[in-house]
Amino acid sequence: MGDGGATVIPPSRRPDGTLRKEVRVRAGYVPQDEQPAYVPRQVQARQNVPKCPGLDETSQVAGAPKPKSKAATKNAKRKEKKVDGGKPAGVTEAPGKAAAKSEQGKTPAANPSDVAQQLAACTLEPGAQPDGPAPTSALRALKKKVRQAEELEKAQAAGSVLSPEQLQKLGHLEAWRKEVLDLEAAAH
């Protein structure tokens, strides 16, 4: 104990051999690391209030499952449908069909001639639009590709060396131009 009620920690040696100075510690001092974190009054009041006035929380079972919300039950049903293969809950299939479907899923391209027949059956009519992006957005995208390829042509004419990917773009330029003309004709 030093003067004024302070405790003095004597000097000590560090592992590298240097000397630590003596440290004076007042009575009742708590180091910063050991100080409890500040909690505002409002937070303390919220923590001490029971969740439901009059309810004894000790009587509740901690392991009791909470009831699911409507959204959670709906999501669970969706997941079950997805696992069941998209079938509604009450609909069942004949056993032979289910077995055939499971075999189909295991070998998707077992017979190439079957795949070719399916593709031939799925061909589009000449006037039909594919189920892809809208024609205007596809047209915009193609025009952008044509613009970029034309810029590459100019750069090549100026003497710059193009990468293989850029040369490949130049190879597609004529096909893109034709496709732009076709889309413009279909749009008008």
Helix boundaries (H) for 52-134: 70-84, 95-106, 112-121
In this predicted structure, what is the pLDDT of residue 119? Answer: 67
Q: What is the mean pLDDT of residues 133-156?
A: 88
Helix boundaries (H) for the chain: 41-48, 70-84, 95-106, 112-121, 135-158, 164-187
Tens digits of residue pLDDT in 73-109: 998 898 898 888 755 555 555 555 555 555 555 555 4
Number of neighbours of residue 87 by Cβ within 10 angstroms: 11
Please report, as a single letter, which amino acid is at residue 43.
V
Task: Calculate Rg over the CA atoms of the chain.
Answer: 38
In this predicted structure, what is the pLDDT of residue 176? Answer: 92
| pLDDT exceeds cutoff 90 at 18 | yes
Burial of 173 (0-12, 13-18, 19+ CB in 10 A): middle
- Answer with the residue of higher pLDDT: 169 or 129: 169
Domain boundaries defined on the chain: 135-187
Q: Mean pLDDT for the chain? A: 77
In this predicted structure, what is the pLDDT of residue 131? Answer: 53
